[in-house]
Chains A and B, each alone.
Chain A
C-alpha cells in the first residue's frame, strides 16, 4: 500500500538535493527487494516444502517399485510399506522382472537413444542457423516471418497427425526412424528458434560489428563469435528437447508404431502394465529404469540449465 509513495519520494526529491553516490532506479530497487525477499529463509523453506510435496508421488512410486508382495501392493497404500514391521517386504523382484529377458528392455533402451539423439541434434542445428538469420541478417519480411515461426508453437501436435502420417506413407517412410526424427524436429523447431533467437539478440552488436570490421563474413561470425557464446542456451534447449523426446509416447505410437524395431522405451513401458492394466508393479520399476537417463542428462548439464532457464526470456 505505502510502497508507491515511498518509492516515489526519493526521485521527486532528487533534483533539490545533491545526488547520492549510488542511486537506484525504481526497477532496480524492486529487483533488490524481490531478491531479498526470495532469498530469505522463509522463502527457501517454502521452496523446499513445495519441492518435497512435488516429490511425494515420485517417492511413492519409488517405494512401490521396491515392494515385493503383489497382494500388498494392490491392497494397501505405499506408505504402509514404510512401517518398520513391513520392511521385510522390500525386494528387487519388480526390477528383476522388468529387466528380465522377456521384457527386452535393452532393445527399447537402444531404440530410445536412436530416436532421441538425432531428434535433439537436428532441431538445434537448424534452429541455430535460423536464429542467426533472424537476429543478424537484414532481409525483407524478417519480422513477419519470425512471428509466423514463433506462432507455429500454438499448433497442437494432435491436429497434425493424420496429414503428416499421410505424407510419410506417401514418401514410404512409414515405420522407420525417419518419421520420428522429422516429427520431433518439426515440433521442436518453433520453440528452439524463438529461444535461440532471443538469446542471440542479446549478444552486444559491437561484438558482431567488430568482427565484421575485421573482415569476418556471416559464416565466420556465426562460428567464431556467436556459437561459443551460445552454449548455455543450447544446453538448456537440449535438455528441454531431450526430456520431451525421451518421455514421448504419443508421437512414437502414432507415427512409428509399436514394433520392437522402432518403438522407444515409453511404448514398452506402457505395455508392461498388461492388456488389462493390472501389472503396474512392473510399471513402477520400469518407470525408474527409464528415468535414469533423463536424470543423468540433467545432472550432467544442470550448471548450464540453471543459467539457461532464463535465456532469451528477457530482452534488454
Chain B
C-alpha cells in the first residue's frame, strides 16, 4: 500500500507540473492589447477567413463573394476605375482579428470580386512586434495597416515604405482634413492615408441611473465636477470607476485621461507644443492639468466604485473597468467610443444607446461651446508600388470603401473620412463618434502618446502613470520622471 503511494506521488507531482506548464504556455501571450484606434473586441469569433484551408467543420462561412457576385455588373461600375486586376494578389497585414478581421475582409470583398485581385488578409495581435521583423527580413506585406503614426515613422526609417500614389493623395485631400493628412506624412512626404478613426473623449454612464437620481448631463467642466460632488454626497455609489491595466501596455488608458486634461487646462496650442516637446513634459501647465485630473480620480471619495481604492486603478483591467456601471456601483467611466463592444462582450443582452442600458456623453470642455476631443486612427502604409497595390490603396481611401465598411460592421468602427454616409453606421455610438469627428467646431487632437517617441509614448508615460496610482507619486514627480526619460 504505502510503497505504491510513494511511487505514485512523484508521478502525480510531475503530471501536475506538466499540466501547469502547458497551461502557462498556452495563455502566456494573452492580454497584450495594443492600443489601436478603431474597432472591436468580440467574443463571437472569426468567420469567413481566407478559406483555402482544409477546413471541415464549417461549411457556411465565406459567402460574401458568392452572394455579391449575383448582383452583377451594375454593382461593379464603381470599381471600373481600378481596372482589371485579375491574377494579382495583394497581401494585407493588420491588427484586426476574429470578428473584426472578418468585417474588414467583407468590406473589400466586392473590390476583389469586381477587379479580380485577390486580397490575402492576415491579422495578428503581435502585429506591432512582428511587422518590423518581417520588414527587416524582406518579407514585408504589400500593405500594412498601422495603428499609430509613431509606427509609420519607424517604418519609413527602414526605407521600404512607398510614398502614397497620386490617386490616394487626391482622395485624402478631398475627404480628410489637413491635419489627418499630416499624421500620415513623414518629413514632407505623404505616405499613409488614414483609414479608421476613433474618438476617445467620452464618458459612459447609465441613462436609467441618471434618471433615477435626477442627474443631468454636464456640459461644462464645472458642471462635471459639481455632478461628481453631488454623486459622492448622495452616497449611493462612487462617481467614477477607472482601470488602466492592459498587460504589457498597462497605463495607456491613463495617458488618454492626461491628454484630455492637457487639451482642456493647458489649451490646444500648448498641447501641440507638449506633444512635440517644444515645452517640457513637466511644464507648469501640464502639472496643473494632472492635478485637476487627480482631484477627480486620484481621490478616495470619488473612486473606485465596487473595485477598491485609488491603488486598485492600476490593477483593474481597462476592459472591465466600466462594468460596475451595469451593476449600479459606479456612475461615470471615461473611455473611447470603441469601448461599446466591451459592453456586449460582458453581456450580449446589454443595449448601447440613449435610452439603452449604457450610453456616453462627450467629456465636457471648460465652457459649453468648446468641444475638445482627442482621438486616434490607423494608417495604410504600402511596402510595394505594384499597380494592384496602388489601386487597393486608392480604394481604401475612398468613400466607397468607408461605406462598405460601415455596412459590414455592426458596431465599433468609425472613420474621419467625410465622404462616409453616416446613415450607414449601424450603432448609435458609432454615429455619435462620427458626428464628433466630422464636426468642424470640435477641437480635435490626435492621441498624444501615439505621436511621442516610443520611449515616452509607449514607455515611461505608461509606467509613470501606473506609478501615479499604484505608488501614490505626486503629479510633479510623475511628470519630472517622464521628462527625464525623453530621448535627447
Contact = CB atoms under 8 A, between A and B. Distances in A.
17 contacts: A54-B17, A57-B20, A58-B20, A61-B27, A74-B346, A75-B324, A106-B57, A107-B56, A169-B138, A169-B139, A259-B120, A260-B49, A260-B52, A277-B319, A284-B27, A295-B19, A299-B15
A47 interface: yes
Interface stretch (A139-147, A204-212, A222-230, A286-294): A286-294
A305 B21 CA distance: 16
B23 A57 contact: yes
The 6 A-B pairs at the shortest CB distance, nearest first, are namely: A247-B25, A276-B41, A165-B137, A274-B41, A278-B319, A51-B13
A258 B98 CA distance: 12
A283 interface: yes
Nearest to A100: B45
A275 B19 contact: no
A104 interface: yes
Contacts of B439: none
Contact of B100 (A161, A272, A275): A275
A169 B50 CA distance: 22
B interface bracket (residues with beta carbon within 8 Å of A)? 35 or more
Nearest to B345: A278
A30 interface: no
B73 interface: no
Nearest to B17: A54
A287 B25 CA distance: 9
Contact of B22 (A47, A247, A278): A247
B384 interface: no
A261 B14 CA distance: 35
Contact of B320 (A47, A75, A286): A75
Contacts of B324: 75
Given A71-B323, A161-B133, A275-B95, A253 B126 contact: yes
A269 B26 contact: yes
B30 A280 contact: yes
Contact of B137 (A162, A284, A302): A162
Given A44-B6, A74-B320, A97-B45, 5 more contacts: A54-B20, A58-B19, A102-B58, A166-B137, A260-B51
Nearest to A97: B43
B27 A283 contact: yes
Interface in B304-358: 306, 317, 319-320, 323-324, 326-327, 338, 341-342, 345-347
A102 B345 contact: no
Interface stretch (B31-39, B219-227, B440-448): B31-39
Provide the main secondary structure of the chain A interface. helix
Contacts of B42: 274, 279
Contact of B26 (A107, A165, A278, A291): A291
Interface in B68-113: 95-100
Interface of A: 39, 44, 47-48, 50-52, 54-55, 57-58, 61, 70-71, 74-75, 97, 100-107, 110, 161-163, 165-166, 168-170, 174, 243, 246-249, 253-254, 257-261, 266-267, 269-284, 286-287, 290-291, 294-295, 298-299, 302, 305-306
B95 A243 contact: no
B218 interface: no
B47 A102 contact: yes
Nearest to B51: A260
B317 to A, nearest CB: 8
Contacts of B347: 70-71
B54 A110 contact: yes
B295 interface: no
A238 B84 CA distance: 52
Nearest to B120: A259
A91 to B, nearest CB: 15
Contacts of B306: 75
B53 A261 contact: yes
Contact of B98 (A106, A266, A275): A275
A268 to B, nearest CB: 9
B124 A258 contact: yes
Nearest to A69: B347
Nearest to B320: A74
Contact of A272 (B20, B23, B45, B317): B45
B17 A51 contact: yes
B95 A55 contact: no
Nearest to B307: A75
Contacts of A290: 22, 26
Interface string B112-129: 000000001011111000
Contacts of A165: 133-134, 137-139
Contacts of A274: 40-43, 45, 97-99, 345
A270 B125 contact: yes
B88 to A, nearest CB: 17
Given A51-B13, A295-B19, A249 B29 contact: yes
A277 B246 contact: yes
A106 B55 CA distance: 7
Contacts of B124: 253, 257-258, 267, 271
A72 to B, nearest CB: 10
